[in-house]
């Protein structure tokens, strides 16, 4: 079972919004799609899910081309946060629509989740707050039983308790090993510990594809303090400087080996400490530019 995105490209207004994006989704994973504002995360979800037509590239589900086998669309679920056509309908009308569209729709699960969050079937979506609408779209996505779920900023606007609940629902959903969830989000702190893999998008391209557990075992964030304010060349050559504050420099090294540590010692830091590496550090190391560092320094 797999979903393969193969060299997907999309131009919008002559701009390459997606540029030959390729990746494979295996079952049982939660994947974070991470990138700065406007890099193309939503466009990627919309193009994979057929809301936008790709200019080139293709998508296969278990080896079959999605464009040639439209029935395979029931294997994917993406509810666009801007889906305004829902607004005038009631929960029960939407349920009927999704039951018809998704043959494996799990009505029991849907009803249980509605009850858990005190939502009732006769409620109209236009009365929902932003957070309630977000919560409802997650319940609906989960209930489709589609193996591949795409959630765009699913935690946006939800209060802390609901966010935690949602994340545990999502973890439960993938635990069976049959489903995968892709989450586009800026909320790196909350994604930490939830996602297994991070796809980092920059100007429409995937620039990093990290298996986080493996990444954490070989990468380190190191804080170094020097006598003067000059950043040694070795740091820039072997790692990504993510913070400079006076004589204190913080660097992310993706391959922190004993040999590299020995080379760092030769730069004579007056203090050196290994710090835990977070998703935010990986974001800073890969998706920020020199100009951003100046702002942060
Ligand atoms: N329908 C559209 N019409 C015009 N431009 C569009 C459209 N959809 C996307 N774009 C442009 O494509 C680029 C990528 O937008 P997209 O919404 O995919 O980014 P994003 O990574 O999801 O951003 P954010 O993190 O801010 O939600 C932006 O420059 C955006 O203006």
Domain with residue 229: its CATH number is 3.30.70
Q: Which of 211, 236, 266 is the last residue of a domain?
A: 211
Beta-bridged to residue 221, according to DSSP, are 252, 275
Q: Which domain holds residue 256?
A: 219-296
- Is 26 found in the same domain as 167? yes
| Span of 95-99, 101-105, 116-120 with lowest mean pLDDT | 116-120
Structure-block tokens of residue 262:
């020995």
157 CA from centroid of ligand 1 (Å): 20
- Is 207 found in the same domain as 248? no
- Is 205 found in the same domain as 229? no
Residue 81 has pLDDT above 50, yes or no: yes
The model's pLDDT over 243-295, given as tens digits with 9 standing for 90+, comes to 898 899 999 999 999 999 999 999 999 999 999 888 888 888 887 765 555 54
CA nearest ligand 1 atom 23, residue: 38
CA nearest ligand 1 atom 31, residue: 38
- Is 286 found in the same domain as 192? no
Q: Could you give the number of structural domains in the chain?
A: 2
Question: What is the strand order of the sheet 205-211 is part of?
Answer: 76-78, 148-152, 180-184, 30-34, 197-202, 205-211
Q: Average per-residue pLDDT in the chain?
A: 90
CA angle (90 as vertex; 88, 94 as ends), nearest 5 = 100
Indicate the pTM of the whole model.
Answer: 0.89
ipTM: 0.95
- Is 160 found in the same domain as 115? yes
- Is 230 found in the same domain as 178? no
- Is 170 found in the same domain as 48? yes
- Closest atom of ligand 1 to 44 CA is 18
């Amino acid at each position: 079972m797999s979903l393969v995105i193969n060299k997907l490209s999309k131009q919008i207004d002559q701009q390459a919004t997606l540029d030959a994006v390729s990746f494979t989704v295996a079952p049982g994973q939660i994947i974070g799609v991470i990138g700065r504002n406007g890099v193309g995360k939503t466009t990627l979800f919309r193009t994979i899910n057929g809301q936008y037509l790709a200019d080139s590239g293709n998508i296969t589900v278990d080896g079959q081309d999605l464009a040639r086998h439209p029935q395979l669309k029931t294997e994917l679920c993406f509810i666009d946060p801007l889906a305004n056509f829902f607004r005038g309908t009631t929960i029960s009308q939407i349920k009927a629509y999704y039951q018809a569209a998704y043959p494996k729709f799990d009505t029991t699960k849907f009803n249980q989740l509605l009850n858990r969050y005190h939502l009732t079937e006769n409620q109209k979506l236009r009365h929902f707050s932003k957070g309630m609408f977000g919560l409802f779209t997650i319940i609906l996505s989960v209930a489709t039983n589609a193996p591949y779920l795409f959630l765009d900023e699913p935690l946006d606007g939800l209060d802390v308790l609901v966010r935690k609940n949602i994340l545990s629902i999502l973890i439960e959903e993938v635990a069976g090993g049959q489903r995968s969830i892709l989450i586009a989000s800026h909320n790196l702190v909350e994604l930490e510990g939830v996602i297994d893999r991070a796809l980092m998008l920059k100007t429409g391209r995937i620039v990093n594809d990290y298996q986080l557990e493996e990444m954490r075992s070989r990468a380190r964030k190191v804080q170094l303090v020097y006598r003067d304010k000059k950043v040694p060349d070795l740091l820039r050559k072997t790692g990504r400087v993510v913070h400079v504050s006076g004589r204190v420099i913080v660097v992310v090294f993706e391959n922190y080996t004993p040999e590299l540590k020995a080379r760092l010692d030769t730069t004579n830091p007056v203090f050196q400490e290994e710090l835990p590496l977070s998703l935010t550090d990986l974001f800073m190391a890969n998706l920020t530019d020199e100009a951003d560092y100046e702002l942060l320094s």
